[in-house]
Amino acid sequence: MEIINLNQEIKPTFNLLKFTFGIVPIVAGLDKFTNILTNWEQYINPSLGGMIPLSAHSFMMIVGIIEILAGIIVLLKPAIGGLIVAAWLTLIALTLLASGHYLDVAVRDLVMAIGAFSMTRIAKLIS
């Protein structure tokens, strides 16, 4: 009977999740300043946009900084960063659902939030 070292078996999967949930928020955050991937301002819920005391561009730049920081935290402290990213993605999905627009992106963000939360759980197991 072969004894499986769970830590050794799951570590590559964990690292894949850690780098994905670390690098993707950093890239998305940086793109808030350039809009190369998309025009991020289009994703602001119009009913919330009127309540923000900033321009949509300025708001998205702040969002970008938060995403960059979240990605860095994932890379340094995945158990904490994963929770931050999961919560962040859930909030984004909820605002998209409330707007009734980009429902496909909302569903994708909820799936990604589950992945980030799962990474957090794995981080606690292997540490």
Residue-range domain boundaries for the chain: 6-126
pTM over 0.85: yes
Tokens of 86: 């999961």
**Per-residue pLDDT band at 87 (split at 50, 70, 90):** very high
Phi and psi angles of residue 67, each rounded to the nearest 5 degrees, phi first: -65, -40
For 14-62, the pLDDT digits (tens) are 999 999 999 999 999 999 999 999 999 998 888 877 888 999 999 999 9
Predicted local distance difference test score (pLDDT) of residue 3: 58
Q: In this structure, which long-range contacts are made by residues 86-89, counting pairs with CB atoms below 8 Å and at least 24 apart in sequence?
A: 86/113, 86/114, 86/116, 86/117, 86/120, 87/113, 88/25, 89/113, 89/116
- Distance in angstroms (rounded) separating the CA atoms of residues 17 and 9: 14
Tokens of 51: 């309540």
